[in-house]
Amino acid sequence: MRFNGLTKGFFILILALVTWAFFDVLSPYFSAILWAAILTIIFNPVKNKLRTALGDRNGLASLLTLGIICLIVFIPLMVILSSLAVELNMVYTSCNRTTRSSRK
């Protein structure tokens, strides 16, 4: 009987170690996994409507949904980030000129 309890305890210990290692390996990717889950929840109704409109062609509906996500989410995000980069470059240049002119 004691051997059975020892086996269960060892199994729980190994399970805890493997779980900890799994989360340690995945920890750099938690933000990407979170964003993927958010986009999945938001765009799942769109994919379901596309799938019924395309006659239960799930692969094509998924591809079209991915294209819609790229058009709606990622392209405006790229435009905003590029304009932010330009503005930050202008601020840096302006601060650099101000610093140089105050030194003279």
Which residue do the tokens 């435009």 mark? 79
Q: Where are the alpha helices (DSSP H) in 1-104?
A: 2-26, 30-53, 58-69, 75-103
| Distance in angstroms (rounded) separating the CA atoms of residues 51 and 66 | 13
DSSP 54: T
- pLDDT, residue 6, reads 76
Given a contact cutoff of 8 angstroms between Cβ atoms, the answer to whether 73 and 91 are in contact is no
Query: At 78, which amino acid appears?
Result: M
Average pLDDT, the chain: 90
The answer, yes or no, to whether residue 31 has pLDDT greater than 80, is yes
Write the pLDDT tens digit of every residue in 75-99.
999 999 999 999 999 999 988 888 7
pLDDT of residue 5: 72
